[in-house]
Every structure is written in structure tokens, then in C-alpha cells.
Structure 1
Amino acid sequence: MNHEVGQKGEAIAARYYRQRGYLLLGHNYRTRMGELDLILYKEDLIVFAEVKTRTGRMLAAPAEAVDLYKQRRLRRAAELYLQNSPFAEARVRFDVVEVAPAEKGWQVHCIMDAFQV
């Protein structure tokens, strides 16, 4: 998948969260452990959202790409982010957001609390 499609999916996912009252703190936050697609905040909760964008037909669901290895890297990247953040004491949740083309626009499927800290 190309970079533009991924960026489009992340923008759609960010809009999805903002419409639900979340504040976007950051996107594409890079650490030595990897990248955090979206970092959001709402009511003393930090959400790290991994966005998977699908175009065309794929056999596996995009969320299946977030395996244990990827989860471990996301956790470590989140820990690094929180160390330098005023939100270090906030609750943390990891979401996986699947974005796919739909008949009209894009479909967003958010798997909240997709894996544990």
C-alpha cells in the first residue's frame, strides 16, 4: 500500500475520533521502537490508535496485521511518548482502526481496547 493511502486513512480515523470528542495530540509520532499513528486524549484517557487502511480486496482483516510483535513495539513506543508527556498518569488504551473504501466515502471500524497494556 502506498504512503498516500495510509495518510488518507489516518486523516479519516483522526476525524472519526474528533467527531467523538477526542483531542488529537499527535500523529505519526516516531520513536526508536516504531511509530504511533494517532495519539488522542479524552477525559483523562490517552488513546494510541494504530490505523490500518485497506483498499481493494484483501483476504485478512487489516487488524490482523497488529500481531503480538507489533503490539509489543506499540506498547514500547507509547511508554517512550508518555515519559515526556504531561499525560503520564492518564489511563491508556490501544485501539486498532480499520479504514476501508465504502459505497459512499470510507468505512471506519474502530476496535477499542484492541489489546492490553
Structure 2
Amino acid sequence: MQGNERMQKSYMGGCLCGAVRYELIGVPERLYACHCKECQRQSESAFGMTLLVKENGLKVSGELKKFERISDGGNRVTAYFCPNCGVRIYGIPRYVKGIFSLKPGKLDDTSCLRPAAML
């Protein structure tokens, strides 16, 4: 799944404790491996994977907790987490309207993940 390609089915995912589940429906916009400081902090690694999906292409079940802060770059960062296990489910990037930033490692099947670009 690189984005901008036809998906043959929906994809399911969720948090570690199972309290939050989601379904990704439709065609994702793009999958990136990003090396910016913000993505490094979120992933606790050298890079973070981000799957951009349309707002109406993500169906979430379960309660979410919202967290907002100002990034080092001065942008507001809004993210939604499982209140039980703390796993980040998605964020709302300020640079694109109507798009969610999903952490694709929470998909039940990650074998289809192929980044379109390294940033």
C-alpha cells in the first residue's frame, strides 16, 4: 500500500489492549517514512511511518483521548490515543484539510506497507 492505488478490501487495526479498533476504507493518500524530529519523537526511532487517509475513510470504534501541543516548529499537533494503553491511533495534520495521519504499524496486516517516499 503506497497510496493512490486501488485497495481490494478494507483494512482493520487497533491499539495494543484492544479497546480501540478502526477500519480503513478506500484509497489512502500516501504512505511516508519521515525522518523529521516530530516523527522521531512519536515513533521513538530514527523515523516514523505515516499513512495519510481521508477523514471519511477512517471508522473508529472505542473511546479516544485527545492530546494537543505546540511542536518545536511552532505547529499545533493534535493526536488521538487509546486512554487505556496510550497507543496513538491517528493525528490531524494542520497542513492538509480533511486528512488524518494514521500510524500504519497498528494495522492487523502490515505486509502491504510500502512507503512512497522517505522524507
TM bucket by the smaller chain?
A: under 0.3
- Greater length-normalized contact order (CA 8 Å, ≥ 6 residues apart): 2
